[in-house]
Amino acid sequence: MSLHPPIKIGTRDSELAIWQASEVQKLLALQDIPSTLVPIKSEGDLDLKTPLYAMGVQGVFTRALDIALLNDRIDMAVHSMKDVPVQLPQGVCQAAVLKRASHKDMLVFKEDSSFLKNPISIATIATSSLRRKAQWLHQYPYHRIEVLRGNIHKRLEKLENEKWDGALFAAAGLDRLSKRPAHSIELDWMLPAPAQGAIMVVCKEDDTLTKRSCQSLNDLSTARCVKIERDFLKALMGGCSAPISALAIEENGNIHFSGNIFSPDGKDFLEVEKKAALSNAGKMGEEAAEEIISKGGLTLLNQIKNAGK
């Protein structure tokens, strides 16, 4: 019998969030650490109509869990890392980052995808992400974008019922729930949100026992890469719903980084590519952001801020 007190794991109550928290629960069980799941409603789950970029608040999917953590209702919280603000609340710290799943975005389409072959085609695509919307409109400027909110099941269901041609999803979410439709395409040309596909565990800064319990859950390579991506986002003063994309990949002792920022309508963009040895990559995210700003990034940032008002 374990002598470790049961850990209360806070999670959003969506199917995907429960899956992610259950993965953490399984990893803790391998250390003979008992735990229970504590589902909590987030602001982002209660309002399913307003586009995320128009909600005007950071951490719409994480704040309720942070409050529960600081009030000792839970011992740790499990988040989709791309939803976590770059600045954690005072008293909360990153305890672990799990090994990353697919970072890619995906188009789920109706039976016919021929509209993808013609850049001047007219089609209707659904997404709640300003980042995905901007990159899609850059690639397909004549398409119409509709707002799509809700959990994965509801979004797939709505796509089926609406007169839309397709909808955009994170591949990791569909794969984790084994709901990748046959009519789907991975978008290799679309750069993901910083930390997309990664799962983050947070706890209280002064909770030494929980932090120690999470040490074996941490994947060092994933943690290094997503830190660079989030440093890029933070240096550009972007929130997790901004049309800012970043991807860092560790390979053969090097870090390869790609980042971009788009105007909300997809017409203007700036991008950056960098490569450095792992030992010299600590400031890569900030340096990439400085390069974007030197190219005129502040103008795009102002467009993003005005679009959210």
Q: Which residues are catalytic?
A: 83
d(CA 44, CA 242) in angstroms, rounded, equals 16
Q: Which segments of 56-130 are extended strands (E)?
A: 76-80, 92-97, 105-109, 124-126
Let me know: does 209 contact 187? Beta carbons within 8 Å: no
Residues 6+ apart with CB under 8 A from 167: 107, 108, 125, 126, 127, 148, 155, 156, 158, 159
Number of Cβ atoms within 10 Å of the Cβ of 73: 13
* β 76-80/92-97 pair status: unpaired
| Closest to 25 measured CA to CA, from 77, 64, 69 | 77
User: b/e for 290-304, b at 16 or more Cβ within 10 A?
Assistant: bbbbeeebeebbebb
Q: Which residues contact 181 (CB under 8 A, 6 or more apart)?
A: 108, 156, 174
Two tokens, residue 165: 């041609």
**In sequence order, what are the residues at sequence separation of 6 or more whose Cβ sits closer than 8 angstroms to the Cβ of residue 72?**
none
Q: For the packed helices 15-29 and 152-161, what is the interaxial angle rounded to 10 degrees?
A: 150
